[in-house]
Structure 1
């Protein structure tokens, strides 16, 4: 008989997060990207292996912080494709080595939801970005947030799209684990 138990972790209360300074744990954090290509017939996936960041939680439970991604660390398991994605057609890592998200406000909501507002900078172009994250871990020493965010690359100046092969937004799945500084 198949196990039908829900494997989704139980919601974590945002009130469990203590005020103070926190630093991103790169070993416990991931930034994955998915994008449909070839007119939606193929999905390319990859992971940014270089991430860093820090944050601060205020006494009222709100937070702010920064997540920095090493743009050249994108790995799609295809060296030729990765080289093209790092080129001026896409991430232009020679001139823009980092993708940066600055959270100006992260406010706990119902259950484990956290409303996040901030600014995402890609290719030196800052754009506002708001999304809902989920608090999946909150202990005295560690906090983990997960979020899925759609990013329209054309808003940041990435317009390469030969023959319309790459329409729409890329989906980024972020797991950010912070530890007490």
Structure 2
């Protein structure tokens, strides 16, 4: 799909957008999966076709369908949601490339620690009123101060999978 996305401001539709995480644990035998229930964001498509914006997750809204595990993931061992209630991804540049590929460059901030991040997503739908971007990328949780690893059970990278639907904001 080759689409020219309309310039202007766009708002994340939090009711149809998802941000999910996957991480192997128990020495790679079990994959823990979860989603963030509270996701907000906005963006701007510039006249040159590039985009900037911000996605914000409520760290305490992570749900893995296991209350005890969720409490631990929100604790200081992991997300430290009490002291760092938001996880943000500040998009410095998003450019449509190779048909439906979207190259994204930004800064991920977790637990107050910011790191550069880039990945390629896919524009899976776009019209004059909405656009949807799917992306999957991996992060090293230790880069964000999450080094808890009892008995070496949790190794490797955490995978983030997103489907982000934006709607065009009416001009003022």
CA distance in 2, matches of 1:49, 1:18: 28
CA distance in 1, matches of 2:42, 2:13: 9
What secondary structure does 1:154 align onto?
A: helix
What secondary structure does 2:98 align onto?
A: coil
CA distance in 2, matches of 1:91, 1:36: 17
What is the root-mean-square deviation in Å for CA atoms of aligned residues? 0.6
Equivalent in the alignment of 2:122 = 134
Question: Is the aligned partner of 1:100 residue 2:88?
Answer: yes
CA distance in 2, matches of 1:176, 1:169: 22
Offset of residue 14 of structure 1? 3.5
TM-score by length of 1: 0.92
Equivalent in the alignment of 2:154 = 166
Equivalent in the alignment of 1:26 = 14
Question: Is the aligned partner of 1:117 residue 2:112?
Answer: no
Offset of residue 111 of structure 1? 1.2
Q: Which runs of 5+ in 2 are unaligned?
A: none
CA distance in 1, matches of 2:38, 2:130: 20
Residues paired across the two proteins, number: 169
Question: Is the aligned partner of 1:13 residue 2:14?
Answer: no
Question: Is the aligned partner of 1:41 residue 2:29?
Answer: yes
Superimposed CA distance per residue, residues 141-173 of structure 1 (whole angstroms, 9 cap, x where no aligned partner): 001101001011000110000111000111010
CA distance in 2, matches of 1:13, 1:170: 31
